[in-house]
């Protein structure tokens, strides 16, 4: 077993479960910080006896995060939200929590912090989510001297928040709106490619202090993604073009729900087109060939 302890904050989420599984197979000792105590049983089965320690807590609770980070050699911060609800908002999850994690990592002499962000991160964005992610990247680097930024495009894989989420929605309402005049271009990245990348970044110090943008092999508009989805599921789906201004009305009301179909802030992302920025690295730099939706998702989509 490798004599290093990797602390994964947000380890019970979509990326977290895959990452913990891979790191266990590679022989790391893992500490997992999760707000969901119900995930403990699933997580504990991923490693050998004693290989995984699971701590339930609030990422904004300084004492709980401090106790978790103490004893870790490497920290991977995966915590993020897609929409605000209740006490969870972009300020405390995307900004306050990462800054606190960076400060406590410095306090406990953590050797390397991997801060996972997204490709829309931009301090000047008119999306509050994107703005908060961009600001967090800046602040974390100011606090901690050995941080690697990993920006992710839309993720796909088993139980993802893209195809699997819409598969549940269409069972109730088989309608998917297509925002008209959307500028957004997506390059969905396979979750297993992402965790392979994070492991390589952990292992190779040449990748530390870099910024990575991880994306898949092919670009899609939202319409193209949904057309692919509708052609590969058995459920009949109606794709309906709608102006973003009109979609803003239901999005406003959805924002009051605990699990909204779409929010106003998410709609703002459709007005932005992102491309790979300069001075960033990709899966290619890590010698990882990105997997395609057409190959990896077929076995799942045919079930819906």
Does a structural domain hold residue 29? yes
Average the pLDDT over 237-264 and give the result. Answer: 89
Distance CA 110, CA 102 (A): 9
CATH number at residue 120: 3.40.50.720
**Domain-embedded: residue 266:** no
- 113/116 Cα distance (integer angstroms): 10
Task: Considering only CA atoms, give the Rg of the chain.
Answer: 19
Query: Can you give the residue range of the structural domain that contains 116?
Result: 5-155+189-215+275-288
Closest C-alpha among 278, 277, 141, 291 to residue 216: 291
What pLDDT is attached to residue 149? 98
Confidence grade of residue 283 (pLDDT, cut at 50, 70, 90): very high
In a domain, 17, yes or no: yes
State whether residue 178 is helix, strand or coil.
strand
Mean pLDDT for the chain overall: 93
Say what angle helices 222-231 and 163-172 make with each other, to 10 degrees: 70
Give how many domains the chain has, as a whole number.
Answer: 1
Is residue 199 situated within a structural domain?
A: yes
Count of residues making up the chain: 304
Choose between 38 and 120: higher pLDDT.
120
Q: Is residue 283 part of a domain?
A: yes
Question: Could you tell me if residue 197 is inside a domain?
Answer: yes
Q: Which residues have a Cβ under 8 Å from the Cβ of 99 and sit 6 or more positions away?
A: 136, 139, 140, 143
pLDDT in tens, 173-202: 899 999 998 999 999 999 999 999 999 999
Alpha helix locations (H) across the chain? 14-25, 40-44, 62-69, 90, 97-107, 128-143, 163-172, 191-203, 222-231, 244-254, 264-269, 293-296, 298-301
State pLDDT tens for residues 74-132.
999 999 999 998 889 999 999 999 999 999 999 999 999 999 999 999 999 989 999 99
Task: Give the model's pLDDT for residue 40.
Answer: 57
Residue 263 located in a structural domain: no
pLDDT value at residue 39: 58
Three-state secondary structure of 76-138:
EECCCCCCCECCECHHHHHHHHHHHHHHHHHHCCCCEEEEEEECCCCCCCCCHHHHHHHHHHH
Domain membership flag for residue 172: no
Report helix, strand or coil for 7. Answer: strand
CA distance 59 to 148: 20
Of 160, 237, 230, which Cα lies nearest the Cα of 191?
160
């Amino acid at each position: 077993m490798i004599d290093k302890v990797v602390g994964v904050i947000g380890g019970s989420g979509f990326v977290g479960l895959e990452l913990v599984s891979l790191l266990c197979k590679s022989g790391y000792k893992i500490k997992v910080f999760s707000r969901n105590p119900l995930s403990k049983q699933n997580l504990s089965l991923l490693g050998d006896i004693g290989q995984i320690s699971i701590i339930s807590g609030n990422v904004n609770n300084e004492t709980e995060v401090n106790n978790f980070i103490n004893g870790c050699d490497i920290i991977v911060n995966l915590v993020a939200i897609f929409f605000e609800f209740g006490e969870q908002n972009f300020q405390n999850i995307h900004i306050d929590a990462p800054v606190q994690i960076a400060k406590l990592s410095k306090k406990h002499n953590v050797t390397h912090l991997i801060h996972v962000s997204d490709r829309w991160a931009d301090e000047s964005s008119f999306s509050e989510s994107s703005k908060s992610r961009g600001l967090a990247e800046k602040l974390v680097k100011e606090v901690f001297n050995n941080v690697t930024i990993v920006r992710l495009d839309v993720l796909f894989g088993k139980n993802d928040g893209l195809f699997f989420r819409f598969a549940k929605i269409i069972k109730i309402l088989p309608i998917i709106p297509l925002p008209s005049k959307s500028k957004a271009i997506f390059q969905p990245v396979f979750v297993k490619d992402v965790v392979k990348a994070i492991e390589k970044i952990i292992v190779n110090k040449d990748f530390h202090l870099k910024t990575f943008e991880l994306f898949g092999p092919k670009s899609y508009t939202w319409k193209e993604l949904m057309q692919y989805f509708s052609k590969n599921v058995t459920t009949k789906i109606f794709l309906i073009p709608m102006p973003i201004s009109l979609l803003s009305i239901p999005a406003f009301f959805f924002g009051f729900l605990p699990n909204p179909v779409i929010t106003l802030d998410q709609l703002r992302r459709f007005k932005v087109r992102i491309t790979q920025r300069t001075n960033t690295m990709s899966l290619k730099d890590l010698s990882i060939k990105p997997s395609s939706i057409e190959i990896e998702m077929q076995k799942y989509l045919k079930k819906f």
